[in-house]
Amino acid sequence: MSTTPTRPPTVRQPTVRTQEEIAARVKALEAIMIEKGIMTTEAVDRLAEIYENEVGPQLGAAVVAKAWTDPDFRERLLRDGTATCRELGIGGLQGEDMVVVENTDTVHNVIVCTLCSCYPWPVLGLPPNWYKGPQYRSRIVREPRKVLREDFELDLPESVEVRVWDSSSEMRYWVLPLRPAGTEGMDEQALAALVTRDSMIGTGVVPAP
């Protein structure tokens, strides 16, 4: 009896787009939604304002700076991230259950969501495209040092333990980065200006001034 050979299933590779291509697609979608009456230009402007000024990494940076300068606040933040951020008026959608993990001289934390892209929006803003990509989500769990070194140019010494935290819709992690040397005399505003989004995800560190 003859059989017909079957072909292996075709695996489609994810399309990698440049930031310019993504921006162009977003603008096109925005124009279509406004044209069809789904959204107004005022609504689009308000949404942009929210993520520029009311929600985003600048708010997380302010929390980090306060934790660096106020030991009692830092202790509360590590014990209950959601409630402590609320002390500064920071919270809301996608930030209902936040857990803050602290980097030290011997431990470096990095955040991922292996299922989708769960992420603490109130303190970090919208998740970057790479955070949502299947490559980061799968590889950072298996080989975190290699991913940090090759994809983010963060080469950690072997003496530093790397811990990977998997966020979910029930619990969203973010990182309290290590305060860099040479910042002892800086105030909260100046410290916050040093803090980057990637340092609060764990794919970067806060640079020294």
Q: Given 2, 85, 118, 159, which residue is catalytic?
A: 118
Give me the helices (H) in the chain, please. Answer: 19-35, 41-49, 57-69, 71-79, 81-87, 121-124, 129-132, 134-142, 144-152, 188-192, 197-201
Length of the chain: 209
> Euclidean distance between the first and final Cα of the chain, in Å?
75
Does the active-site annotation cover 117?
A: yes
Marked catalytic residue, from 116, 138, 168, 169: 116
Euclidean distance between CA atoms 94 and 169, whole angstroms? 8
Pair of tokens at residue 189: 């505003």
Element (H, E) at 107: strand 107-112
- Please pick, among 85, 113, 167, 199, the residue that the annotation labels catalytic: 113
85 is catalytic: no
Q: Do 156 and 148 meet the contact criterion of CB atoms below 8 Å apart?
A: yes
> Pick the catalytic residue: 2, 85, 117, 167?
117
Q: How many whole angstroms separate alpha carbon 150 and alpha carbon 131? A: 15
170: tokens are 């029930």
Residues marked active site are found at 113, 116-118
